[in-house]
Amino acid sequence: MLADLAAKAAHLLPPEAAHVATVRALSKALGVPAKPPAFPTNIAAVLPKSGLKLASPVGLAAGFDKNCEAPEAMARFGFGFVECGTVTPKPQPGNPKPRVFRLTEDRAVINRMGFNNFGLEFFVRRLAKYSHLVPIGANVGANKDSEDRIADYVTGINAVAPYADYITINISSPNTPGLRGLQDKASLAALLSRCADADRKAKPVFLKVAPDLDAEAVSDICGVVKAEGAWLAGLIISNTTLARPESLKSAERGEAGGLSGAPLFHPSTEVLRLFARQLGGAFDLIGAGGIASGADAYAKIRAGANAVQLYSMMVYEGPGLALRVARELSHCLEKDGLATLFEAVSKDL
């Protein structure tokens, strides 16, 4: 409760300053619970393709802890798994400030951070010290000025594989020019072919995609993933969106960057549903985008997700959101007479 109050007090600071202050406080364990909470047993999850075992299917999405500074703190707040990054081979400052905007009236955030991070060397040092209270993922990306972006992904995978429980290839950020082009058929095939040869240490690898995909693009990605990416554990659906719904009310709604939070929930869930139908359970799917309640998480799971991730809604709800979502999700299962989370996966398809 105190941490949630502190998160709301952080609204007195500019968005990025509040974020930096929060991560630094958490890295020093300020206001962090002494141990991870106990979860209802009916929400325990095993992601079948990756083999990840989760006491809770509610994970922390990448972007919150870019440099792997506070994964243990977030585990103690009730996340069933934490994903750190995005990290690039070389440190980079990201895009010019200001680059984060709260859309308070819409319970949303726009960011154009641009993969700002301290680089792989710093990230790996932190990752190697993590106690593995819950599974940890390392989200890898490419430097903005890289001449061979696919090589950057291979470098990232090789560096984090000895220490991460899973790895995410992020090709869906809208804030690095040209990055989303790696979702095109030929580029994605080349990416998956070269990353297949990376030294993954047998760790499961996920591909993170954008929500701004029509049915044809989803079909193309699924075709390439089946043909070239059978070694993948699954997909994370989705990143932030470039769309601007007409319903947005906040003055900052026209800022450039990726939109996340409540307005992302429905479009990201629909794209998740498209992937789930086409992939038919052959890959683990993690649903992300706008989750603010157990009902939201339940909708993602029924649409085909094996687990979910959240981040932006903590801006409005505080870090206690993870545990609340997990408990509410348990109630959703009980209300529908389902004994386990597994029974709810793809229930609506």
Catalytic site includes residue 27:
no
Q: How far is CA 286 from CA 169, 206, 214, 261, 263, in A?
A: 13, 9, 19, 16, 18
Q: Which domain, by its residues, includes 205?
A: 2-344
* Within a domain: 315: yes
Each of the 349 residues of the chain gets a pLDDT tens digit; together they read 555 555 555 666 788 999 889 898 888 888 899 888 999 999 999 999 999 999 999 999 999 999 999 999 999 999 999 999 999 999 999 999 999 999 999 999 999 999 999 999 999 999 999 999 999 999 999 999 999 999 999 999 999 999 999 999 999 999 999 999 999 999 999 999 999 999 999 999 999 999 999 999 999 999 999 999 999 999 999 999 999 999 999 999 999 999 999 999 999 999 999 999 999 999 999 999 999 999 999 999 999 999 999 999 999 999 999 999 999 999 999 999 999 999 999 999 9
* Within a domain: 349: no
Q: How many residues does the chain have?
A: 349
Q: Could you give phi then psi for residue 190, rounded to 5 degrees?
A: -65, -40
* Within a domain: 154: yes
32 vs 321: CA distance, rounded Å: 14
Q: Are 194 and 204 in contact (CB under 8 A)?
A: no
**pLDDT computed for residue 30 by the predictor:** 84
Query: Of these residues, 27, 50, 146, 173, which one is catalytic?
Result: 173
**pLDDT computed for residue 1 by the predictor:** 54
Residue whose tokens read 């979910």: 308
* Within a domain: 299: yes
Using CA atoms of 90, 258, 326, 336 in order, give the dihedral in degrees to the nearest 10: -140
Q: Are 60 and 82 in contact (CB under 8 A)?
A: yes
The domain total for the chain is 1
Name the residue among 178, 263, 185 with its Cα closest to residue 218.
185
Q: CATH code at 218?
A: 3.20.20.70
**pLDDT computed for residue 5 by the predictor:** 52
* Within a domain: 137: yes
* Within a domain: 287: yes
| Structural element, H or E, at residue 7 | helix 2-9
**pLDDT computed for residue 36 by the predictor:** 87
**pLDDT computed for residue 7 by the predictor:** 58
